Amino acid sequence: MAETLFEELKRYVGFEPADGQRLLALHEVMQPRFAAIADVFYARILEHPQASQALAGESQVGHLKVTLQAWMEQLLRGPWDENYFLLRCRIGRMHVRIALPQHYMFGAMSVLRQELNRFLDEHQDWRTEDLRASRVALQKILDLELAIMLHTYREDLLAQQARHERLSTFGQLVGTIGHELRNPLGVIETSLFILKGRPLAGEERAAKHLTRIGEQVTLANRIISDLLDMIRDKPLKRESLRLDAVWTDALTSVHVPPGMSLSASGLDTLPTLRGDPGQMRQVFVNLLENAIQAVGETGRVVLSASSGPDAVELVLEDSGPGVSEPIRRRMFEPLMTTKARGIGLGLPLVKRILERHDGSIHYAPREGGGARFILRLSIPPDCR
């Protein structure tokens, strides 16, 4: 059987079973220091504005400290197997997603090395040879961590660049075709207007077909508009933005089946933001339409909202089937869809609009089944 990448990396740095035993012994004495190390780690990060901004500022630090302690727990306890490798790969992908520059990865690992080594320097209960062997084992596992993160970061960054290149080509094609299609659609709309203004002598079927043609022309125009919105920098209207009002407005454009439960909470407690109400309305409409299609005639869609010191968070959940693991990594790419009728523009457009509002969106599986989308929007300093 071919050697896996993780096995190759462990062989390269000389990580052996004896190193694992030394790390387990380190865990027993180091665990009480994990909280203090996490405090030092994030205090250092908050000193650097770019790194702090990538990690969502101080509002998420409490949660991230707990996550870091869990990371150190697994670092020293293992098991150092393929599942360990896959879990660490997700960290590198997360760094790409939040646009954290690579040099901060090196800096962060340096801080952890310093703090963990400082503990070893202060530990006087071990013999010199045991202390030296434990220090070597610690350096090996930290080197492995960094190698995994950099490998995954590079892979995802290259994939992201390839997607951007495809989108650039896609954008040029869409821009040309979209504008060309507007002309014949405009002629069809004009002809429909004229035909509808003439008596059809009781031709009910003819009137029905004219209505159907009009509906399809509207749908075609909407697809073209969505495509063009994906490739152009539509100017934002920076004005007062009340998300509760935008949500209420969006509901008027969405058909909710009688047997489906739709509820929202916390929106009226959110601060006033700055942004484009029209584009944010499109965010809600697209997400709601996806959720309703996933749930079907009966089910539940719930929106909950909360506010932190520098950002608001919206969580939209539904009781549908959720999104499979293979689809999740590509769900925000244009033209990626699992629907029989659809071209995969809804979620990419949502992501683009939120990013232009200094926000973000990501998917998280819902406990017990179903989909969960988490949206974050920054609160401008003058609105806090």
Pick the more confident residue, 125 or 58: 125
For residue 32, what is the DSSP state? Answer: G
pLDDT above 90: percentage of residues in the chain: 12
Residue type present at position 75:
L
Tokens of residue 247, six digits: 């949500």
The answer to whether residue 14 scores a pLDDT higher than 60 is yes
Beta partners for 259?
none
Strand, coil or helix: what is 280?
helix
Q: Could you report the per-residue pLDDT of 161-210, keeping only the tens digit for each?
A: 766 666 666 666 666 777 677 778 888 888 888 877 776 655 777 778 88
Task: Report the range of poorest mean pLDDT among 40-54, 64-78, 360-374.
Answer: 40-54
Q: Could you report the per-residue pLDDT of 203-242, keeping only the tens digit for each?
A: 777 778 888 888 788 878 777 776 676 666 666 778 888 9
Write the DSSP string, 159-212. HHHHHHHHHHHHHHHHHHHHHHHHHHHHHHHHHHHHHHTS--TT-HHHHHHHHH
How far from 262 is each of 257, 291, 297, CA to CA, in Å? 10, 10, 12
How far apart, in whole angstroms, are the C-alpha atoms of residue 373 and residue 322?
11
Domain with CATH 3.30.565.10 in the chain: 239-383
How far apart, in whole angstroms, are the C-alpha atoms of residue 328 and residue 363?
7
CA torsion sign, 274 to 279 to 285 to 287? negative
Residue 226 has what pLDDT?
A: 66
Note the pTM of the prediction, 2 decimals: 0.51
Mean pLDDT along residues 303-328:
85
The answer to whether residue 57 scores a pLDDT higher than 50 is no
Superfamily of domain 1-232: Globins (1.10.490.10)
Domain with CATH 1.10.490.10 in the chain: 1-232
Decide: 246 and 353 in contact? Cβ < 8 Å.
no
Which architecture, in CATH terms, is 239-383? Answer: 2-Layer Sandwich (3.30)
Question: What backbone phi and psi angles, to 5 degrees, belong to 164?
Answer: -65, -40
Residue type present at position 163:
R
The answer to whether residue 260 scores a pLDDT higher than 70 is yes
pLDDT band (50, 70, 90) for residue 324: confident
Burial track 307-319 (b if 16+ CB lie within 10 A, e otherwise): beebbbbbbbbbb
End-to-end CA distance of the chain: 58
Residue type present at position 238:
R
Q: What is the spatial order of strands in the sheet that 359-363 belongs to?
A: 260-265, 299-307, 311-318, 372-378, 359-363
